[in-house]
Amino acid sequence: MSTTIFEKGTAGKSGSFIPANDCPVEDLGFAHPRVGEIGLPRIGEQDLIRHYVELASMNYHIDKGMYPLGSCTMKYNPVINEEVARLDGFTGLHPLQLEEDVQGALELICELESDLCEICGMNAFSLQPVAGAHGELTGMMIARNWFRRRGEKRKIVLVPDSAHGTNPASVVICGFTPKTIPSNDAGLIDPDVLERESGGDTAVLMLTLPNTLGLFEKDIERIIRIVHDAGALVYMDGANMNALLGIVRPGSIGVDIMHVNLHKTCSTPPGGGGPGSGPGGVREHLAGLLPVPRIVKENGRFFLKEDIEESIGRVHPWFGNFNVLVKAYAYIKALGGEGLREVSENSIINANYLMKKVAVDYDIKYPGRCMHEFVASGRNLKKFGVKTVDVAKRLLDYGLHAPTVYFPLIVEEALMIEPVETEKKESLDHFADVMAVIAKEAEENPEILHEAPVTTPVRRLDEASAARSPELCWPGGECMPGED
Protein backbone atom coordinates (compact mmCIF):
# COMPACT_ATOMS: atom_id res chain seq x y z
CA MET A 1 0.00 0.00 0.00
CA SER A 2 1.23 3.48 -0.79
CA THR A 3 2.26 5.64 2.15
CA THR A 4 0.78 9.11 2.49
CA ILE A 5 2.60 12.16 1.27
CA PHE A 6 2.97 13.29 4.90
CA GLU A 7 4.75 10.04 5.75
CA LYS A 8 7.12 10.50 2.85
CA GLY A 9 7.94 14.04 3.87
CA THR A 10 11.25 14.71 5.65
CA ALA A 11 12.32 17.79 7.54
CA GLY A 12 14.62 20.00 5.52
CA LYS A 13 13.31 18.91 2.12
CA SER A 14 11.62 21.32 -0.23
CA GLY A 15 9.93 21.14 -3.59
CA SER A 16 11.00 24.61 -4.68
CA PHE A 17 13.97 26.92 -4.60
CA ILE A 18 13.01 30.57 -4.20
CA PRO A 19 15.62 33.35 -4.14
CA ALA A 20 15.89 35.30 -0.91
CA ASN A 21 13.56 38.27 -0.72
CA ASP A 22 15.53 41.47 -1.40
CA CYS A 23 12.47 43.74 -1.22
CA PRO A 24 11.59 45.82 1.85
CA VAL A 25 9.35 44.04 4.31
CA GLU A 26 5.97 45.75 4.54
CA ASP A 27 3.17 45.40 7.04
CA LEU A 28 0.11 44.26 5.07
CA GLY A 29 -2.20 45.01 7.95
CA PHE A 30 -3.30 41.47 8.78
CA ALA A 31 -4.83 41.30 12.23
CA HIS A 32 -3.55 37.75 12.79
CA PRO A 33 -0.36 37.13 10.81
CA ARG A 34 0.69 33.52 10.43
CA VAL A 35 3.45 32.33 12.68
CA GLY A 36 5.25 29.03 12.31
CA GLU A 37 4.62 26.08 10.01
CA ILE A 38 1.22 25.40 8.44
CA GLY A 39 1.55 21.61 8.25
CA LEU A 40 2.42 21.08 4.59
CA PRO A 41 4.50 17.97 3.79
CA ARG A 42 8.23 18.44 3.28
CA ILE A 43 9.00 16.67 0.03
CA GLY A 44 11.11 17.21 -3.07
CA GLU A 45 9.55 17.89 -6.45
CA GLN A 46 10.59 14.59 -8.00
CA ASP A 47 9.25 12.61 -5.05
CA LEU A 48 6.07 14.65 -5.23
CA ILE A 49 5.55 13.69 -8.90
CA ARG A 50 6.34 10.04 -8.20
CA HIS A 51 3.85 9.99 -5.34
CA TYR A 52 0.97 11.13 -7.50
CA VAL A 53 1.97 8.88 -10.42
CA GLU A 54 1.94 5.95 -7.99
CA LEU A 55 -1.54 6.93 -6.77
CA ALA A 56 -2.76 7.29 -10.36
CA SER A 57 -1.54 3.78 -11.21
CA MET A 58 -3.68 2.41 -8.37
CA ASN A 59 -6.81 4.05 -9.71
CA TYR A 60 -9.17 2.16 -12.01
CA HIS A 61 -10.34 4.15 -15.02
CA ILE A 62 -11.90 3.62 -18.44
CA ASP A 63 -8.51 3.72 -20.18
CA LYS A 64 -7.39 0.85 -17.96
CA GLY A 65 -10.29 -1.54 -18.32
CA MET A 66 -13.96 -2.25 -18.78
CA TYR A 67 -16.58 -0.52 -16.60
CA PRO A 68 -19.69 -2.76 -16.73
CA LEU A 69 -21.73 -0.44 -14.50
CA GLY A 70 -25.40 -0.91 -15.34
CA SER A 71 -27.32 2.31 -15.93
CA CYS A 72 -24.14 4.40 -15.98
CA THR A 73 -22.85 4.01 -19.56
CA MET A 74 -19.16 4.27 -18.71
CA LYS A 75 -17.77 4.01 -22.22
CA TYR A 76 -14.61 5.14 -23.95
CA ASN A 77 -14.94 8.67 -25.29
CA PRO A 78 -12.76 10.11 -28.06
CA VAL A 79 -9.94 12.27 -26.72
CA ILE A 80 -10.50 14.71 -29.59
CA ASN A 81 -13.72 15.80 -27.88
CA GLU A 82 -11.75 16.73 -24.77
CA GLU A 83 -9.32 18.69 -26.94
CA VAL A 84 -12.17 20.58 -28.61
CA ALA A 85 -13.71 21.47 -25.24
CA ARG A 86 -10.36 22.89 -24.10
CA LEU A 87 -9.93 25.30 -26.98
CA ASP A 88 -9.12 28.78 -25.69
CA GLY A 89 -12.19 30.20 -27.38
CA PHE A 90 -14.35 28.05 -25.12
CA THR A 91 -12.38 27.89 -21.87
CA GLY A 92 -11.70 31.62 -21.91
CA LEU A 93 -15.38 32.58 -21.84
CA HIS A 94 -17.13 34.11 -18.86
CA PRO A 95 -20.89 33.72 -18.34
CA LEU A 96 -21.29 37.48 -17.78
CA GLN A 97 -19.85 38.43 -21.16
CA LEU A 98 -22.03 40.44 -23.49
CA GLU A 99 -24.09 38.51 -26.04
CA GLU A 100 -22.20 40.04 -28.95
CA ASP A 101 -18.93 38.65 -27.56
CA VAL A 102 -20.15 35.02 -27.33
CA GLN A 103 -22.00 34.52 -30.58
CA GLY A 104 -20.11 31.30 -31.34
CA ALA A 105 -20.97 29.77 -27.98
CA LEU A 106 -24.63 30.74 -28.32
CA GLU A 107 -24.71 29.28 -31.83
CA LEU A 108 -23.24 26.01 -30.52
CA ILE A 109 -25.88 25.80 -27.78
CA CYS A 110 -28.67 26.64 -30.23
CA GLU A 111 -27.48 24.05 -32.74
CA LEU A 112 -27.05 21.36 -30.08
CA GLU A 113 -30.62 22.00 -28.92
CA SER A 114 -31.76 21.55 -32.53
CA ASP A 115 -29.78 18.31 -32.88
CA LEU A 116 -31.31 16.90 -29.69
CA CYS A 117 -34.78 17.80 -30.97
CA GLU A 118 -34.07 15.88 -34.17
CA ILE A 119 -32.65 12.87 -32.31
CA CYS A 120 -35.45 12.73 -29.72
CA GLY A 121 -38.42 13.93 -31.78
CA MET A 122 -39.07 16.85 -29.44
CA ASN A 123 -39.95 20.44 -30.35
CA ALA A 124 -37.64 22.27 -27.93
CA PHE A 125 -34.79 21.57 -25.51
CA SER A 126 -33.15 23.45 -22.66
CA LEU A 127 -29.51 22.69 -21.93
CA GLN A 128 -29.55 24.28 -18.47
CA PRO A 129 -29.96 21.15 -16.30
CA VAL A 130 -26.55 19.90 -15.19
CA ALA A 131 -27.41 16.28 -14.30
CA GLY A 132 -29.95 13.57 -14.97
CA ALA A 133 -31.75 14.13 -11.67
CA HIS A 134 -31.68 17.88 -12.41
CA GLY A 135 -33.33 17.14 -15.75
CA GLU A 136 -35.99 15.08 -13.98
CA LEU A 137 -36.62 17.91 -11.54
CA THR A 138 -36.95 20.38 -14.42
CA GLY A 139 -39.43 18.06 -16.13
CA MET A 140 -41.55 17.76 -13.00
CA MET A 141 -41.49 21.56 -12.57
CA ILE A 142 -42.75 21.92 -16.14
CA ALA A 143 -45.55 19.41 -15.46
CA ARG A 144 -46.49 21.18 -12.22
CA ASN A 145 -46.73 24.58 -13.93
CA TRP A 146 -48.63 23.10 -16.88
CA PHE A 147 -51.43 21.87 -14.64
CA ARG A 148 -51.39 25.00 -12.49
CA ARG A 149 -51.92 27.19 -15.54
CA ARG A 150 -54.80 24.96 -16.58
CA GLY A 151 -56.37 25.13 -13.13
CA GLU A 152 -56.05 21.37 -12.58
CA LYS A 153 -55.08 20.05 -9.15
CA ARG A 154 -53.57 16.73 -10.13
CA LYS A 155 -51.25 15.25 -7.51
CA ILE A 156 -50.35 11.66 -8.45
CA VAL A 157 -47.26 10.71 -10.44
CA LEU A 158 -47.13 7.05 -11.43
CA VAL A 159 -43.61 5.60 -11.15
CA PRO A 160 -42.93 2.00 -12.28
CA ASP A 161 -40.86 -0.08 -9.86
CA SER A 162 -38.33 -0.52 -12.71
CA ALA A 163 -37.63 3.23 -12.88
CA HIS A 164 -34.47 5.04 -11.85
CA GLY A 165 -34.17 5.56 -8.12
CA THR A 166 -34.06 9.36 -8.28
CA ASN A 167 -37.50 9.62 -9.93
CA PRO A 168 -39.61 9.59 -6.74
CA ALA A 169 -37.40 12.27 -5.16
CA SER A 170 -37.94 14.61 -8.11
CA VAL A 171 -41.68 13.96 -7.83
CA VAL A 172 -41.86 14.81 -4.12
CA ILE A 173 -39.72 17.96 -4.42
CA CYS A 174 -42.24 19.36 -6.89
CA GLY A 175 -45.19 18.73 -4.60
CA PHE A 176 -46.53 15.62 -6.30
CA THR A 177 -47.18 12.25 -4.68
CA PRO A 178 -45.42 9.22 -6.20
CA LYS A 179 -47.37 6.01 -6.67
CA THR A 180 -45.57 2.80 -7.56
CA ILE A 181 -46.71 0.69 -10.51
CA PRO A 182 -45.52 -2.92 -10.14
CA SER A 183 -43.87 -4.73 -13.03
CA ASN A 184 -45.45 -7.85 -14.48
CA ASP A 185 -43.75 -11.23 -14.81
CA ALA A 186 -41.87 -9.99 -17.89
CA GLY A 187 -40.39 -6.99 -16.04
CA LEU A 188 -42.61 -4.54 -17.94
CA ILE A 189 -45.55 -2.25 -17.20
CA ASP A 190 -48.87 -4.07 -17.26
CA PRO A 191 -51.21 -1.83 -19.30
CA ASP A 192 -54.28 -3.18 -17.49
CA VAL A 193 -52.80 -2.23 -14.12
CA LEU A 194 -51.80 1.17 -15.47
CA GLU A 195 -55.32 1.76 -16.75
CA ARG A 196 -56.80 0.93 -13.35
CA GLU A 197 -54.39 3.28 -11.59
CA SER A 198 -54.82 6.22 -14.00
CA GLY A 199 -57.56 8.74 -13.32
CA GLY A 200 -58.49 12.38 -12.89
CA ASP A 201 -55.87 12.91 -10.18
CA THR A 202 -53.03 11.48 -12.29
CA ALA A 203 -50.57 14.14 -13.43
CA VAL A 204 -47.67 12.21 -14.96
CA LEU A 205 -46.40 8.76 -15.78
CA MET A 206 -42.66 8.90 -15.10
CA LEU A 207 -41.26 6.27 -17.41
CA THR A 208 -37.67 5.02 -17.75
CA LEU A 209 -37.24 3.75 -21.30
CA PRO A 210 -35.61 1.28 -21.67
CA ASN A 211 -36.21 0.48 -18.01
CA THR A 212 -33.54 -0.39 -15.47
CA LEU A 213 -33.86 -4.06 -16.40
CA GLY A 214 -32.67 -3.11 -19.87
CA LEU A 215 -36.08 -3.88 -21.35
CA PHE A 216 -38.12 -1.86 -23.83
CA GLU A 217 -41.83 -1.48 -23.07
CA LYS A 218 -43.41 -3.50 -25.89
CA ASP A 219 -46.83 -1.99 -25.13
CA ILE A 220 -45.52 1.57 -25.24
CA GLU A 221 -48.20 2.81 -27.66
CA ARG A 222 -51.02 1.58 -25.43
CA ILE A 223 -49.25 2.87 -22.31
CA ILE A 224 -48.99 6.38 -23.73
CA ARG A 225 -52.58 6.30 -24.97
CA ILE A 226 -53.85 5.31 -21.51
CA VAL A 227 -52.00 8.18 -19.86
CA HIS A 228 -53.11 10.76 -22.40
CA ASP A 229 -56.73 9.56 -22.23
CA ALA A 230 -56.58 10.29 -18.50
CA GLY A 231 -55.48 13.86 -19.29
CA ALA A 232 -52.00 13.26 -17.88
CA LEU A 233 -48.50 13.75 -19.29
CA VAL A 234 -45.84 11.17 -20.15
CA TYR A 235 -42.38 11.93 -18.81
CA MET A 236 -39.50 9.79 -20.09
CA ASP A 237 -36.30 9.39 -18.14
CA GLY A 238 -33.87 9.35 -21.07
CA ALA A 239 -30.78 8.25 -19.16
CA ASN A 240 -30.79 5.09 -21.30
CA MET A 241 -30.91 6.84 -24.69
CA ASN A 242 -27.73 4.93 -25.50
CA ALA A 243 -30.08 2.16 -26.63
CA LEU A 244 -32.44 4.30 -28.72
CA LEU A 245 -30.30 6.63 -30.85
CA GLY A 246 -31.49 6.56 -34.44
CA ILE A 247 -33.99 3.81 -33.57
CA VAL A 248 -36.71 5.43 -31.43
CA ARG A 249 -37.65 9.10 -31.25
CA PRO A 250 -39.54 9.49 -27.95
CA GLY A 251 -41.49 12.57 -29.06
CA SER A 252 -42.74 10.72 -32.12
CA ILE A 253 -44.33 8.01 -29.97
CA GLY A 254 -46.09 10.52 -27.72
CA VAL A 255 -43.65 11.33 -24.91
CA ASP A 256 -44.41 14.87 -23.67
CA ILE A 257 -41.32 15.62 -21.55
CA MET A 258 -37.93 13.93 -21.29
CA HIS A 259 -34.33 14.46 -20.35
CA VAL A 260 -31.11 13.15 -21.89
CA ASN A 261 -27.91 12.44 -19.98
CA LEU A 262 -25.28 13.90 -22.30
CA HIS A 263 -22.63 12.65 -19.86
CA LYS A 264 -23.77 9.08 -20.55
CA THR A 265 -24.96 9.21 -24.13
CA CYS A 266 -22.82 11.81 -25.85
CA SER A 267 -19.18 11.72 -24.90
CA THR A 268 -18.63 12.76 -21.28
CA PRO A 269 -18.24 9.81 -18.88
CA PRO A 270 -20.01 10.37 -15.54
CA GLY A 271 -17.18 9.08 -13.34
CA GLY A 272 -15.84 11.14 -10.48
CA GLY A 273 -19.10 12.86 -9.77
CA GLY A 274 -19.29 15.12 -12.78
CA PRO A 275 -19.53 17.39 -14.52
CA GLY A 276 -22.77 16.24 -16.09
CA SER A 277 -25.54 17.53 -18.29
CA GLY A 278 -29.21 16.53 -18.33
CA PRO A 279 -30.97 18.65 -21.00
CA GLY A 280 -34.76 18.69 -20.82
CA GLY A 281 -36.90 18.39 -23.95
CA VAL A 282 -40.60 18.98 -24.51
CA ARG A 283 -43.18 18.80 -27.25
CA GLU A 284 -44.76 21.91 -28.71
CA HIS A 285 -47.56 22.42 -26.17
CA LEU A 286 -45.02 22.67 -23.34
CA ALA A 287 -42.26 24.65 -25.08
CA GLY A 288 -43.15 27.95 -23.41
CA LEU A 289 -42.53 26.44 -19.97
CA LEU A 290 -38.84 25.66 -20.52
CA PRO A 291 -36.29 27.48 -18.35
CA VAL A 292 -35.09 30.94 -19.36
CA PRO A 293 -33.12 32.38 -20.93
CA ARG A 294 -33.95 30.87 -24.30
CA ILE A 295 -31.60 31.45 -27.22
CA VAL A 296 -33.31 33.00 -30.24
CA LYS A 297 -31.87 33.93 -33.60
CA GLU A 298 -32.88 37.17 -35.30
CA ASN A 299 -31.28 38.65 -38.41
CA GLY A 300 -28.33 36.30 -38.21
CA ARG A 301 -27.56 37.13 -34.55
CA PHE A 302 -28.19 35.13 -31.38
CA PHE A 303 -29.90 36.66 -28.36
CA LEU A 304 -30.93 35.56 -24.87
CA LYS A 305 -34.65 35.93 -24.27
CA GLU A 306 -35.69 36.22 -20.62
CA ASP A 307 -39.23 37.61 -20.74
CA ILE A 308 -41.26 34.43 -21.28
CA GLU A 309 -44.33 34.52 -19.04
CA GLU A 310 -45.01 30.76 -18.95
CA SER A 311 -41.41 29.76 -18.16
CA ILE A 312 -40.60 27.96 -14.94
CA GLY A 313 -37.64 30.37 -14.62
CA ARG A 314 -33.98 29.51 -14.26
CA VAL A 315 -32.88 26.11 -12.97
CA HIS A 316 -29.15 26.98 -13.10
CA PRO A 317 -27.30 30.26 -12.60
CA TRP A 318 -25.86 30.20 -16.13
CA PHE A 319 -26.41 28.07 -19.24
CA GLY A 320 -25.53 24.57 -18.06
CA ASN A 321 -22.13 22.87 -17.94
CA PHE A 322 -20.79 24.37 -21.14
CA ASN A 323 -17.71 22.16 -21.53
CA VAL A 324 -19.96 19.07 -21.49
CA LEU A 325 -22.15 20.67 -24.16
CA VAL A 326 -19.10 21.24 -26.38
CA LYS A 327 -18.06 17.59 -26.09
CA ALA A 328 -21.59 16.39 -26.85
CA TYR A 329 -21.75 18.69 -29.87
CA ALA A 330 -18.44 17.31 -31.19
CA TYR A 331 -19.62 13.73 -30.58
CA ILE A 332 -22.89 14.19 -32.47
CA LYS A 333 -21.30 16.03 -35.39
CA ALA A 334 -18.52 13.45 -35.76
CA LEU A 335 -20.90 10.47 -35.82
CA GLY A 336 -23.84 11.89 -37.74
CA GLY A 337 -27.20 10.15 -37.97
CA GLU A 338 -25.92 6.79 -39.19
CA GLY A 339 -23.12 6.75 -36.65
CA LEU A 340 -25.47 7.45 -33.76
CA ARG A 341 -27.69 4.56 -34.82
CA GLU A 342 -24.63 2.29 -34.91
CA VAL A 343 -23.85 3.34 -31.33
CA SER A 344 -27.18 1.92 -30.17
CA GLU A 345 -27.03 -1.13 -32.41
CA ASN A 346 -23.60 -2.08 -31.08
CA SER A 347 -24.72 -1.41 -27.51
CA ILE A 348 -27.67 -3.76 -27.95
CA ILE A 349 -25.58 -6.46 -29.63
CA ASN A 350 -22.92 -6.34 -26.89
CA ALA A 351 -25.49 -6.54 -24.10
CA ASN A 352 -27.34 -9.51 -25.59
CA TYR A 353 -24.09 -11.33 -26.38
CA LEU A 354 -22.76 -10.91 -22.86
CA MET A 355 -26.10 -11.79 -21.28
CA LYS A 356 -26.13 -15.14 -23.07
CA LYS A 357 -22.63 -15.93 -21.81
CA VAL A 358 -23.25 -14.83 -18.22
CA ALA A 359 -26.58 -16.73 -18.13
CA VAL A 360 -24.66 -20.02 -18.17
CA ASP A 361 -23.55 -19.48 -14.55
CA TYR A 362 -25.96 -16.86 -13.15
CA ASP A 363 -29.73 -16.49 -13.01
CA ILE A 364 -31.52 -14.11 -15.37
CA LYS A 365 -34.89 -13.29 -13.82
CA TYR A 366 -36.20 -11.67 -17.00
CA PRO A 367 -34.72 -13.66 -19.91
CA GLY A 368 -35.24 -12.69 -23.51
CA ARG A 369 -33.95 -9.89 -25.67
CA CYS A 370 -32.57 -6.94 -23.74
CA MET A 371 -31.51 -3.50 -24.94
CA HIS A 372 -28.26 -1.87 -23.77
CA GLU A 373 -27.98 -3.63 -20.39
CA PHE A 374 -29.26 -6.63 -18.48
CA VAL A 375 -29.69 -7.70 -14.87
CA ALA A 376 -28.22 -11.01 -13.78
CA SER A 377 -28.61 -12.44 -10.28
CA GLY A 378 -26.28 -14.20 -7.88
CA ARG A 379 -29.19 -15.82 -6.03
CA ASN A 380 -28.21 -19.24 -7.37
CA LEU A 381 -24.91 -18.94 -5.44
CA LYS A 382 -26.62 -18.39 -2.08
CA LYS A 383 -26.76 -22.15 -1.54
CA PHE A 384 -22.96 -21.99 -1.27
CA GLY A 385 -23.12 -19.10 1.19
CA VAL A 386 -22.03 -16.61 -1.48
CA LYS A 387 -23.75 -13.29 -2.14
CA THR A 388 -23.62 -10.79 -4.97
CA VAL A 389 -21.33 -8.53 -2.95
CA ASP A 390 -18.81 -11.40 -2.78
CA VAL A 391 -18.89 -11.75 -6.56
CA ALA A 392 -18.37 -8.00 -6.97
CA LYS A 393 -15.41 -7.95 -4.57
CA ARG A 394 -13.81 -11.00 -6.21
CA LEU A 395 -13.96 -9.33 -9.63
CA LEU A 396 -11.52 -6.74 -8.30
CA ASP A 397 -8.92 -9.45 -7.73
CA TYR A 398 -9.10 -10.28 -11.42
CA GLY A 399 -8.49 -6.67 -12.40
CA LEU A 400 -12.10 -5.96 -13.39
CA HIS A 401 -14.47 -3.30 -12.14
CA ALA A 402 -17.63 -4.69 -10.59
CA PRO A 403 -21.05 -4.03 -12.18
CA THR A 404 -23.81 -2.17 -10.37
CA VAL A 405 -25.06 -4.41 -7.55
CA TYR A 406 -28.35 -4.76 -5.66
CA PHE A 407 -30.23 -2.55 -8.10
CA PRO A 408 -32.91 -2.59 -9.33
CA LEU A 409 -34.52 -3.73 -6.11
CA ILE A 410 -37.01 -5.99 -7.88
CA VAL A 411 -34.23 -8.47 -8.68
CA GLU A 412 -32.82 -10.49 -5.77
CA GLU A 413 -29.00 -10.34 -5.53
CA ALA A 414 -28.92 -8.14 -8.63
CA LEU A 415 -25.90 -7.70 -10.90
CA MET A 416 -26.77 -4.89 -13.32
CA ILE A 417 -24.39 -5.13 -16.29
CA GLU A 418 -23.94 -2.69 -19.16
CA PRO A 419 -21.09 -3.60 -21.53
CA VAL A 420 -21.60 -0.47 -23.73
CA GLU A 421 -20.91 -0.15 -27.42
CA THR A 422 -17.20 0.67 -27.22
CA GLU A 423 -16.07 -2.64 -25.71
CA LYS A 424 -14.69 -5.21 -28.14
CA LYS A 425 -15.71 -8.87 -28.18
CA GLU A 426 -12.48 -9.95 -26.47
CA SER A 427 -13.27 -7.71 -23.47
CA LEU A 428 -16.76 -9.19 -23.18
CA ASP A 429 -15.39 -12.74 -23.43
CA HIS A 430 -12.83 -12.01 -20.71
CA PHE A 431 -15.47 -10.60 -18.38
CA ALA A 432 -17.75 -13.60 -18.96
CA ASP A 433 -14.85 -16.03 -18.41
CA VAL A 434 -13.97 -14.40 -15.08
CA MET A 435 -17.62 -14.47 -14.01
CA ALA A 436 -17.63 -18.21 -14.79
CA VAL A 437 -14.45 -18.76 -12.75
CA ILE A 438 -15.99 -16.93 -9.80
CA ALA A 439 -19.14 -19.05 -9.99
CA LYS A 440 -16.95 -22.17 -9.86
CA GLU A 441 -15.02 -20.75 -6.91
CA ALA A 442 -18.31 -20.14 -5.12
CA GLU A 443 -19.09 -23.83 -5.37
CA GLU A 444 -15.63 -25.21 -4.63
CA ASN A 445 -13.97 -22.60 -2.39
CA PRO A 446 -16.49 -20.02 -1.16
CA GLU A 447 -14.16 -18.76 1.58
CA ILE A 448 -11.93 -17.04 -0.97
CA LEU A 449 -14.93 -14.99 -2.10
CA HIS A 450 -15.74 -14.04 1.49
CA GLU A 451 -12.19 -12.69 1.89
CA ALA A 452 -12.03 -10.91 -1.47
CA PRO A 453 -10.49 -8.66 -2.57
CA VAL A 454 -7.05 -9.92 -1.51
CA THR A 455 -4.86 -8.24 -4.17
CA THR A 456 -6.07 -4.64 -3.99
CA PRO A 457 -4.30 -1.84 -2.03
CA VAL A 458 -7.28 -1.75 0.35
CA ARG A 459 -8.99 -4.93 1.51
CA ARG A 460 -12.74 -5.31 1.99
CA LEU A 461 -14.23 -2.49 4.01
CA ASP A 462 -17.23 -2.55 6.27
CA GLU A 463 -19.25 -0.05 4.22
CA ALA A 464 -22.15 0.09 6.67
CA SER A 465 -19.94 0.94 9.65
CA ALA A 466 -17.89 3.39 7.60
CA ALA A 467 -21.04 5.26 6.60
CA ARG A 468 -22.61 5.25 10.06
CA SER A 469 -19.54 5.81 12.21
CA PRO A 470 -16.75 7.42 10.19
CA GLU A 471 -13.48 8.33 11.86
CA LEU A 472 -12.07 11.57 10.51
CA CYS A 473 -8.32 11.98 11.05
CA TRP A 474 -5.76 14.63 10.22
CA PRO A 475 -2.03 14.05 9.76
CA GLY A 476 -0.38 14.32 13.16
CA GLY A 477 -3.73 15.02 14.81
CA GLU A 478 -6.32 13.09 16.73
CA CYS A 479 -9.16 11.21 15.14
CA MET A 480 -12.69 12.48 15.57
CA PRO A 481 -15.09 9.52 15.95
CA GLY A 482 -18.33 9.73 14.02
CA GLU A 483 -21.71 9.57 15.62
CA ASP A 484 -24.43 7.05 14.88
Tens digits of residue pLDDT in 10-29: 777 776 777 888 888 877 77
**Tens digit of each residue's pLDDT (9 = 90 or more) over 429-441:** 999 999 999 999 9
The residue among 139, 219, 227, 223 whose CA lies nearest residue 186 is 219
Q: What residue ranges define each of the domains in the chain, with the CATH number in brackets?
A: 79-335 (3.40.640.10), 338-460 (3.90.1150.10)
pLDDT in tens, the chain (484 residues): 567 888 887 777 776 777 888 888 877 776 666 777 777 888 888 888 999 998 888 888 888 889 999 988 889 888 899 999 999 999 999 988 999 999 999 999 999 999 999 999 999 999 999 999 999 999 999 999 999 999 999 999 999 998 888 899 999 999 999 999 999 999 999 999 999 999 999 999 999 999 999 999 999 999 999 999 999 999 999 999 999 999 999 999 999 999 999 999 998 766 555 689 999 999 999 999 999 999 999 999 999 999 999 999 999 988 889 999 999 999 999 999 999 999 999 999 999 999 999 999 999 999 889 999 999 999 999 999 999 999 999 999 999 999 999 999 999 999 999 999 999 999 999 999 999 999 999 999 999 999 999 998 888 887 778 778 777 665 555 555 554 4
Q: Given phi > 0 = left and psi -120 to 50 = alpha, else beta, which region is 96?
A: alpha
- Whole-model pTM? 0.88
